[in-house]
Structure 1
Amino acid sequence: MDLPVMPPVRPMLAKPVKKMPPGQLYEPKWDGFRSIIFRDGDELEIGSRNGKPMTRYFPEVVTALKENLPDRCVLDGEIVVVDPSGRGLDFEVLQQRIHPADSRVQLLSKETPASFVAFDLLAIDDEDLTGQPMDRRRARLEEILAAANHPVYITPATDDVGTAEDWFNRYEGAGLDGIISKPRELTYQQDKRVMNKIKHVRTADCVVAGYRVHKGSDDAIGSLLLGLYDDDGELSSVGVIGALSMAKRRELFEEFQPLVTNIEDHPWNWTEDVSMETTASGARSPRKSEGSRWSAGKDLSFVPLRPERVVEVRYDYMEGDRFRHTAQFVRWRPDREPESCTYKQLEQPVEFDLNEVLRRG
């Protein structure tokens, strides 16, 4: 492989901002695997955000890219998996595509095929475009992908802030994560937070139903387990709070000891003969040795607490019936009864067809 921009490339990053910056180029924020595509004739490599190759995990994407890209180019984009309905993204299924067994990789490439959404062009033929402004790179990207077919797409983009605000409000229903804004004169700067991201931020009152001990200290909290009551009155696991100072972790450890209870008396009793993922009624519970979405086989056993404390947390959005990312502590809510913490308090995104988003690209 001999290209003007060679692997590994550390993708250009975005910093969070609260408002839509004026006068920039705006794109939907995709929720997938950030990927740098290097193509030199029959050679094609998919680089990840940390520089490690992902080529072997997505054979169907490799085939599609060879059919749709110029012979020599370097692109920045996102690998995503669209749910079977075609209406949204499925990040949890995408994560399952990273598997050590080649037979499993080949099977999943047919059962849950991925797509590639391009949003930047770093090189074409012998030309290095990283020193050119963003709007010029975007124009070249549109040229080379003008005839691209499924599953290779170009992300929608607009320079109208009103349109971007509309996308921010509506596209979440398709599983998109907010808006990325880029100064029009921005050159491609590896591993630097020079773009902007505007993400959905919401709050919810949750029940603290357990904790995991800190991996470095037996007298400190590692994470707090959060629950919400469903329509059947069952307490479902929705996520965790993890970002706490060590002093706060030790303080909470002492504070919660009077609430520690037997697992047999807890809503998430993993000693019962029930599903690994759910209770008998269908409510999710973080059972002992439940598989982690990041580390298969990791021991996720927890210390059960009587579900009596309520905490207000900040979250960005839901993935199914759980918080997509780790929730952030806001404040304790001694004025709230645990039973009042239900899914009904959550703001529901507008349903939107992902095919409509891709067609705009």
Structure 2
Amino acid sequence: MVGTKRNDFPLPLDTQPMEARSADVLPEGDGSWQYEPKWDGFRCLAFKDDKAVDLRAKSGKPLGRYFPELMATIQSLDAEDFVADGEIVIEIDGGASFDALQMRLHPAESRIRKLSLETPAQLILFDMLVAPGGKTMFDRSLSDRRKALETFLAKASHGGLRLSPSTTNVATATQWLRGAGHGSTDGVVAKRLDEPYRPGERAMVKVKRLRTADCVVGGFRYLNSKRQVGSLLLGLYNDNEQLDHVGFTSTISNDDRAALTTKLEALRGGSGFTGKAPGGPSRWSTERSGEWEPVKPELVVEVRFDHVTGDRFRHGTRLLRWRPDKAPRQCTFEQIE
């Protein structure tokens, strides 16, 4: 917390944010839905009581020490006794940088302070759980909560806080969805205008823009428990004709695992990735992140992905099919630009 030692916030700090269930298409119906961009950042509930401030992740873990600039911003507001729901983002060159967010999760306070000045974060707000003055909004409709949020931000007038755009026009939402996957958003969220806020429930609908790419298998990792393939390491050729590591897929059928292991082990010992290789710091790092087997770059797979950040797939991908008809050298970054 920042400021006083009081901790009688308007809601318990372990309050869970309302969540979303996945869907393939945007829901429609007689203006009863509100659509918002799905931001690519850290979900966050912001609490304020007098001068005491706290930021909590979706998991309930405190985020305040990693984002001192947001703590100071909220503390400086005249409004008191409120709780708002939003997403922490760091934008660099006009797009969200998840790498910059990850860099904030650092144990050294001096490093965090330095980064907060170099790449300040913003809190994009999209819901109001408790309006300033301690007025609980859980049972109010989204329409009412949105008005309260707009009023709050109009008075706050601070660059560190932003109002998330919204629309009831499905055509506009569809345009947002088409533009997702690069930049600051990775999809669209739909909410019923007449429904209350439901903490911890999947009462919203999220739709991501899913795309496909043909990638070269440059290596693999074994399962922790047995000597069988657990994930494929994926690569794309850059402009210098080097194979860069861009992500992974672990959606391998158990029925196929043994045969695939035999095939990959026969290719083991090849050049693997000739450009950027796995094993260094990344958003996928684990204790075993350095343990991977390079293979000859002969196999091509088609995978489905949702977001690209820093020339890498933001999340794990889904293996769709093998592409024996595709030459590895045809698998270039042009597919994901």
Q: Which residue pairs with 1:237 in the alignment? A: 245
Q: Which residue pairs with 1:54 in the alignment? A: 63
Once the two structures are TM-superposed, the CA of residue 297 in structure 1 deviates from its matched residue by 6.5
| Greater strand proportion | 2
Give the Cα separation in 1 of the matches to 2:71 and 2:286.
26
Give the Cα separation in 1 of the matches to 2:284 and 2:295.
25
Q: Which residue pairs with 1:253 in the alignment? A: 261
Aligned length: 326
Aligned pairs (5 A) from 1:138-287 = 138-147=146-155, 148-170=157-179, 172-217=181-226, 219-261=227-269, 265-268=270-273, 283-287=275-279
Q: Which residue pairs with 1:120 in the alignment? A: 127
Residue type matched to 1:311 in 2? V
Give the Cα separation in 1 of the matches to 2:265 and 2:335.
29
Aligned pairs (5 A) from 1:307-322 = 307-322=297-312
Once the two structures are TM-superposed, the CA of residue 327 in structure 1 deviates from its matched residue by 0.9
SS at match of 1:136: helix
Aligned identity (percent) is 39
Give the Cα separation in 1 of the matches to 2:321 and 2:249.
12
Once the two structures are TM-superposed, the CA of residue 298 in structure 1 deviates from its matched residue by 5.2
Work out whether residues 206 and 310 of structure 1, in 8 Å CA contact, stay in contact via their aligned partners in 2.
yes
Deviations 1:52-92 (A, max 9, x none): 11111111110111224621100110111011x3x111111
Once the two structures are TM-superposed, the CA of residue 304 in structure 1 deviates from its matched residue by 1.0
| Cα separation, partners in 2 of 1:180 and 1:172, compared to 1, 3 Å | same
Once the two structures are TM-superposed, the CA of residue 106 in structure 1 deviates from its matched residue by 1.4
Give the Cα separation in 2 of the matches to 1:245 and 1:107.
46
Once the two structures are TM-superposed, the CA of residue 246 in structure 1 deviates from its matched residue by 3.9
Q: Which residue pairs with 2:99 in the alignment? A: 92
Once the two structures are TM-superposed, the CA of residue 207 in structure 1 deviates from its matched residue by 0.8
Deviations 1:87-124 (A, max 9, x none): 11111111100111112121111122111111110012
Once the two structures are TM-superposed, the CA of residue 284 in structure 1 deviates from its matched residue by 1.5
Deviations 1:236-275 (A, max 9, x none): 11110023344443342123221112xxx5143xxxxxxx
Give the Cα separation in 1 of the matches to 2:234 and 2:320.
13
Residue type matched to 2:197 in 1? Y
Give the Cα separation in 1 of the matches to 2:38 and 2:165.
10
RMSD value, Cα: 1.8
Q: What TM-score results when the alignment is normalised by the length of structure 1?
A: 0.85
Once the two structures are TM-superposed, the CA of residue 157 in structure 1 deviates from its matched residue by 0.8
Query: Gaps (5+ residues) in structure 1?
Result: 269-278, 349-361
* More displaced stretch, 323-332 vs 12-21: 12-21
Once the two structures are TM-superposed, the CA of residue 294 in structure 1 deviates from its matched residue by 4.8
* More displaced stretch, 142-151 vs 46-55: 142-151
Give the Cα separation in 1 of the matches to 2:216 and 2:295.
10
Work out whether residues 234 and 249 of structure 2, in 8 Å CA contact, stay in contact via their aligned partners in 1.
yes
Give the Cα separation in 1 of the matches to 2:259 and 2:312.
27
Residue type matched to 1:112 in 2? T
From 260, 263, 283, the equivalent of 1:293 is 283
Work out whether residues 143 and 194 of structure 2, in 8 Å CA contact, stay in contact via their aligned partners in 1.
yes
Give the Cα separation in 2 of the matches to 1:295 and 1:330.
24
Work out whether residues 13 and 195 of structure 1, in 8 Å CA contact, stay in contact via their aligned partners in 2.
yes
Aligned pairs (5 A) from 1:342-357 = 342-346=332-336, 348=337
Q: Which residue pairs with 1:334 in the alignment? A: 324
From 143, 162, 183, the equivalent of 1:135 is 143
* Structure 2 residue 27 is the aligned partner of structure 1 residue 18: no
Give the Cα separation in 2 of the matches to 1:53 and 1:160.
36
